[in-house]
Amino acid sequence: MKKRILVVDDELSIRMLLDNFLSDDYTVFTKDNGYEAMSWFKEGNTADLILVDIDMPMINGYELTESIRKQTGMQAVPIIMLSCKQKSEDRIKSFTAGADDYLQKPFNPEELLVRIQSVFRRSQAA
């Protein structure tokens, strides 16, 4: 059974790119903002890994990550933040919110795939 990845990004082009690039190896679900993602989880859905954009309407990536970390059973789900933000303080804020990794946009999809595989390897070893 394929691992499940949730992509939360308000940019349609990013959601489409990630869905197309990752769907051979993973089951990919996409949401265009943090509110939709939280509703999806409240419906009983789960993911093995979450890719989260920082700048989104309604609930931003930091708030979404913090909310996910507070949910029962979601503390160990890997979260990778995706953002155009380049400052160290943004990466620190992402990790403080509960992210496991941070990748700056624009990114190489192959690098993201390797990072995803690495996160899954680490979580299996734990």
Predicted confidence at residue 72, as pLDDT, reads 83
- Of 21-25, 67-71, 97-101, 119-123, give the lowest mean pLDDT range: 119-123
**Tens digit of each residue's pLDDT (9 = 90 or more) over 2-42:** 999 999 999 999 999 999 999 999 999 999 999 999 999 99
Q: What are the chain's domains?
A: 4-125 (3.40.50.2300)
Nearest to 78 by CA among 16, 1, 4, 2: 4
Count other Cβ atoms within 10 Å, centred on residue 116. Answer: 22
Q: Classify residue 8 by burial, with Cβ atoms within 10 Å: 0-12, 13-18, 19+.
A: buried
**21, two tokens:** 């690039």
pLDDT bin (cut points 50, 70, 90) of residue 126 is: low
Residues 6+ apart with CB under 8 A from 61: 8, 34, 52, 53, 54, 55, 81, 83, 94, 97
Query: What is d(CA 92, CA 117) in angstroms, rounded to the nearest whole number?
Result: 23
